[in-house]
Amino acid sequence: MKRIVITDLHKSFDIAQRKVLDGIHMALAPGINCLMGASGIGKTTLARILAGLAEPDSGTVIWQDFSLPPRVKQGCIGYVFQEDRLLEWQTALANLLFVDTQKNSVRAIDLLTQAGLADSIHKKAADLSGGMKRRVTLCRALMGSHDLLILDEPFKGLDDNIKQTAIKMVQVWHSENPEAILLCITHDEDEVRQLGGQRLHL
């Protein structure tokens, strides 16, 4: 079975030698994995290490039973960052197509419509509200069939109705990609309950 096994992971930052991750052991199985923990405990740092954006000081991350580690394959990691990281001067649609190698505009329009952004498909990201940008960011991450999908506080700033829609979209994506490992970082117990899956605490 595909799994990501994290063993004795350590990470500290140069500034004041602050230890962020101190001997973390964890296994991520296909399906939804909700990672919880207090602020500043290292959830985002762990996600960044998994995505290949940061190197651990020591410890191992083993991609078990993957043909190739997703880090070296194209389009195999999807990521909703804490910040939106959109191309502000481009439209919502262009932002989705930017990350998609197949340039599948049908899929992109479908996702944006599902997210309630049908009227904003051709609006520039800079002209969207905070909540709309967040949904574009989520749609961008759901564009591909990734091996690993990391959602770092993906529903931050969304009102209840829209949050329900967004959670539904994530669940649909998961049902379409049952082999994928989905790691959702959140502080909200309610979100964890609705998403279901494995709970992990840091």
Partner 1 sequence: MMHFSSFRRRLACAGRGVRRFLFVTARWFADAAKHLIWLLPVIAFWLLVWHIVAWCVGSEIIIVSPRAAFARLFVLAQTREFWLAVLTSLRRISLGFVLAMGAGAAMAVLAAASRVFSRLVTPAVGVVNAMPLASFVLLVLFLFGRENLSVVVPFVMVLPLVYHNVHKGIIGTDSALLEMARVFRVPFGRQVRHIYMKSIAPHLLTAVSVGIGFAWKSGISAELIGVARGTIGGYLHRAQVNIQTADMYAWTIAIVALSLLIDKGFAMVMRVARKGGAA
Taking the least distance from each CB to partner 1, the nearer of 87 and 118 is 87
Task: Count other C-beta atoms under 10 Å from residue 62's C-beta.
Answer: 13
Taking the least distance from each CB to partner 1, the nearer of 53 and 109 is 53
Taking the least distance from each CB to partner 1, the nearer of 139 and 192 is 139
Residues belonging to the chain: 202
Taking the least distance from each CB to partner 1, the nearer of 85 and 193 is 85
Task: Count other C-beta atoms under 10 Å from residue 193's C-beta.
Answer: 10
Integer CA distances (angstroms), 105 to 59, 98, 113, 165, 193, in order: 41, 10, 12, 21, 33
As measured in angstroms, the least distance from the Cβ of 189 to partner 1 is: 28
As measured in angstroms, the least distance from the Cβ of 123 to partner 1 is: 14
Residue entry with tokens 């078990």: 64
Taking the least distance from each CB to partner 1, the nearer of 21 and 125 is 125
As measured in angstroms, the least distance from the Cβ of 194 to partner 1 is: 26
As measured in angstroms, the least distance from the Cβ of 141 to partner 1 is: 9
Q: Virtual CA dihedral for 112, 52, 145, 174, nearest 10 degrees?
A: -80
Question: 62 has which bridge partners?
Answer: 5
Contacting positions for partner 1 (CB under 8 A): 51-53, 73-79, 81, 83, 85, 87, 89-90, 98-99, 101, 140, 144
As measured in angstroms, the least distance from the Cβ of 178 to partner 1 is: 22
What is the SS3 string spanning 92-122?
Answer: HHHHHHHCCCCCCHHHHHHHHHHCCCHHHCC
CA dist 4 and 98 (Å) reads 28
